[in-house]
A and B are shown apart, each in its own frame.
Chain A
Amino acid sequence: MSEAPLSGITVLDLTQYIAGPYCTKLLAGLGAEVVKIEKPGRGDGARNVGPFAEDDPHPDKSTLFLYLNTNKKSVTLDLKSATGASLFKDLVKQADLVVENFAPRVMPSLALDYETLKQFKPSLLMTSISNFGQTGPYRDYLLTEMLGLAVGGLMFITGDPEREPLKLGAKLAQYITGLHAYTGTMIAIHCRESTGVAQQVDVSIMESVASILDVTPLWASYSNLVRPRAGNRHTGAYLFCILFCRDGYTGIIAMTPKHWEIYCKKILERPGLINDARFATSHARLQNADELDAVMLEWTMEHEKEEIYHLAQSAGLPFGYVATFEDLVKSPQLGARDYFEEVDHPVAGKVLYPGRPFKLTESPWEPLSCAPLLGEHNEEIYGRLGLKREDLTRLRERNVI
């Protein structure tokens, strides 16, 4: 049996909420030992964020926390106390990587900045995730999910041109930041192992969002043009829309003249539309979009979303359908690939979780294991520092752990 690809790497995870925890969830799944360091009594703020299992606001029932902290260990530690900071430095001596997502002034104010920690472990890596990065004029400003999409340039182009810009429903700004932190960390690990260079990785929400805008920034740098909101249609050469159908929403897409022909002939079964002057070219289809919607809607209302999806794909059209979370969990495709995995949690129970973003054939992921209870691994981790059970009791009485 092959070892997981990151086995042997120890991570001290000071992160909370989404971006940092998604980064370390991936590292943990790939075999790193991730020790989550949580504030005594309260823990990761995500423990207090809904939706909760059975709508019970219990720190071990937040779906966000349960999902994002699989395969991790949890210890409690008050970094603000001198004893806590000292214990943390002892842990650093045995670690490879620290991941943190405090405001940039916090780690230096605790005398736990990268340069200081490096004195305790010269080969230490540190990934710092923040709103705007470790430098720059907005460094200390606050962000939320929506604000990150706004200042990163994605919100302006999302939504109806006649209405206000729209945020995405997924927590994309935070997740994409977690993904950038994960790739930056993987690059830093590679660099350390191939050259011996240890360093800090600086990841920001604003830049993570501004980095995924495909050609949007080049509208500005190439031609000084503002890219407008495209609404729910494609602005370019092809047909794209999300339409109501009998049991939900279908996603119609025709990228080439050939696609349009197939769509008219094989799906709508109205070959006369192919050369209908109102719809024959992409320009005409955009001009007469409302009329075209009416034609398409007449057909979609007679059919179901997954029926349309399979029918179109069989005919060679890359249609989608708007899946609900029920559809997703019941998807035959995801089921056939064992995407969902059952995880048993002592408080939240045994349920299906989404699985892995890719499959490694030679060095597989660790089996998915449940998110830790607050401080669940105190004895194991502090035991490595030589602390005995009665020491832990003393520390707990003083609220250090």
Chain B
Amino acid sequence: MLPLAGIRVIDATVIFSGPYCGKQLADFGAEVIKLESAKHPDPSRGSPNPPRGSGVYPDGEPGPRPWNRAGLFNALNTSKLSLSVDLTTPAGVGIVKRLAKVSDVVMDNFRANVMARFGLGYEALREVNPSIIVISMSANGMSGPERDYAAFGATLEQTTGMAWLTGYGPDDAPYRGGVNYPDPVAGLHAVGAILAALRHRRRTGKGQFVDLSQREGAACLVGESILDYTINGRIAERRGNRDSSMAPHGCYRCKGEDSWVTIAIGTDEQWKSFSVAIGSPAWATEARFRTVLGRWQNQNELDKLVEGWTVGRDHVEIMHLLQKVGVPAAPVLNNVELLHDPHLNRRGFWEWVNHPDAGRHLHYGASVRLAATPGGIQRHAPCLGEHNHYVLRAILGLSEDEVRQLDDAGVTNSDPRSLQPG
């Protein structure tokens, strides 16, 4: 049994934030119908004719239908169905409205005015389905002077103060994160918003519109720094890998190429255990390192000494050695190590997915475990337009003739290359 079975979602979102929300819903059993078109596939499907070396494809090969082999799309759209329908045609908009009539949720992550421009804004959708729940995950929300400004995870990281805090030190530039993490932040907030609105509808029969500003949601994750400013007038600074009170607290080089371990020591007890575990070298018993304050004040030297010990050792072995005596240490895992990590594998975190165009590969599945209704990847990320027939015939009840007419008119075209010049 799947916990969200019976919920139908029209997912008009693209790239990362909205698709991440749709993936959570779909992996737990909602019927999530991804809305795309041959003209405007989700950009995460990459270019129909990708330049050599661009994108992430199985074995580096884009293949004859690159849009069905793109790693970014295939990672973020598991368990969904795909309907390709051209929203710039009245027939296409008509199909979406008919689908909205028998759906529970419509979601988009465009700028504020885009859905309304297609004739698919909340007012129009409510006309066909008064109890529909519509969530708009725009960058800046549906109102305000910057309503129509565009943004991406990497720029939202900046406009929320998150980038300000990341960097090697106060005099070094602010740094971006390795992924556009404001996107999944918005996606997860949206999952909760949708389920809250569904609960309200169960109890009252009423649908509603949810206005999610990705910038506002991401700024919720630096609340304590905002309060430090509103209460103390202080603007927190970048401090690299250091901590406000723990020392040693850093990322240390290990044996092997680009291999690192993180160690964070907060108490005298942990320090003592650490000293013994590394063989009680003379420096580890020095008086200046005996107290929390002493270690913090002398952390420049301390870091060098700690790295002197880590540099010849394997980073996973260091974790086991130190964790066994209660010292917090963890290897900096790269993506290949992560895929082979024994803990994640024992927990079944990675799931095999068979994709008709991309082949059989491991993917990340459900990010939380529900003991009785575990969820997980239900099916491969859909090929573009893979479920046109199912949606048009089985859900909307169109005849074979009507389906063929739509296809002949190009409304449900599923081949981006057919639109390319030449």
Contacts and interface: CB of A to CB of B under 8 A. Distances in A.
Interface string A253-281: 10000000000000000000000000000
Interface in B324-345: 326-336, 338-339, 342-344
Contacts of B40: none
Contacts of A137: 342-343, 346
A401 interface: no
Interface string B283-327: 000000000000000000000000000000000000100010011
A170 B166 contact: yes
A219 interface: yes
A320 interface: yes
A240 B346 contact: no
A7 to B, nearest CB: 9
Interface stretch (B86-94, B240-248, B394-402, B406-414): B240-248
Given A183-B192, A251-B155, A348-B231, A212 B179 contact: yes
Interface string B191-230: 1110111111011101111111101110111111111111
Interface stretch (B31-39, B70-78, B95-103, B382-390): B70-78
B334 A55 contact: no
A152 to B, nearest CB: 8
Contacts of A353: 223, 226-227, 230
Contact of B335 (A159, A180, A216, A358): A216
B144 interface: yes
A208 B24 CA distance: 12
A30 interface: yes
A348 B158 CA distance: 29
Given A200-B371, A318-B152, A356-B216, A232 B176 contact: yes
A236 interface: yes
A63 interface: yes
14 contacts: A5-B199, A6-B199, A51-B228, A164-B253, A167-B241, A186-B192, A188-B3, A203-B369, A213-B338, A220-B335, A232-B175, A236-B54, A242-B175, A358-B210
Nearest to B261: A150
Nearest to B236: A325
A197 B370 CA distance: 11
Interface string A318-355: 11111111111101111011011000000011011111
Interface stretch (A36-44, A138-146, A372-380): A138-146
Contacts of B234: 51
Contacts of A195: 1, 3
A322 to B, nearest CB: 5
A148 B328 CA distance: 10
Given A147-B329, A242-B158, A133 B56 contact: no
A293 to B, nearest CB: 11
A264 to B, nearest CB: 19
B161 A220 contact: no
Residue of B58, B159, B204, B329 contacting most chain A CB atoms (<10 Å):
B159
B156 interface: yes
A83 to B, nearest CB: 30
Interface residues of A, number: 146
Contacts of A171: 221, 224
Interface in A2-46: 2-3, 5-6, 26, 30
Contacts of B225: 63, 170, 325
A109 interface: no
Interface string A36-80: 000000000000001101110000000110111000000000000
A227 interface: yes
Contact of A337 (B143, B158, B188): B143
A363 B197 contact: yes
Given A318-B152, A363-B208, A189 B174 contact: no
Contacts of A219: 56, 71, 335-336
Contact of A253 (B154, B165, B223, B246): B154
A135 B374 CA distance: 15
A397 interface: no
B4 interface: yes
A244 B59 contact: no
Which among B203, B209, B343 has the highest number of chain A CB atoms within 10 Å? B343
Interface centre among A2, A132, A141, A309 (most CB of B within 10 A): A141
Contact of B163 (A198, A220, A226, A242): A242
Contacts of B343: 132, 136-138, 206
A214 B179 contact: yes
A54 B234 CA distance: 10
Contact of B336 (A175, A201, A220): A220
Given A226-B334, A325-B164, A176 B223 contact: no
Interface string A211-225: 111111111111111
B182 to A, nearest CB: 10
A157 interface: yes
A319 B159 CA distance: 10
A318 B41 CA distance: 20
Contacts of B202: 193-194
B228 A325 contact: yes
Contact of A210 (B167, B174, B208, B349): B349
A329 B230 contact: yes
A55 B158 CA distance: 27
B160 interface: yes
Q: Counting chain B CB atoms within 10 Å of each CB, which of A66, A152, A153, A197 scores highest?
A: A153
Could you say which of B76, B147, B336, B361 has the most chain A C-beta atoms within 10 Å of its C-beta?
A: B336
B335 A194 contact: no
A77 B240 CA distance: 38
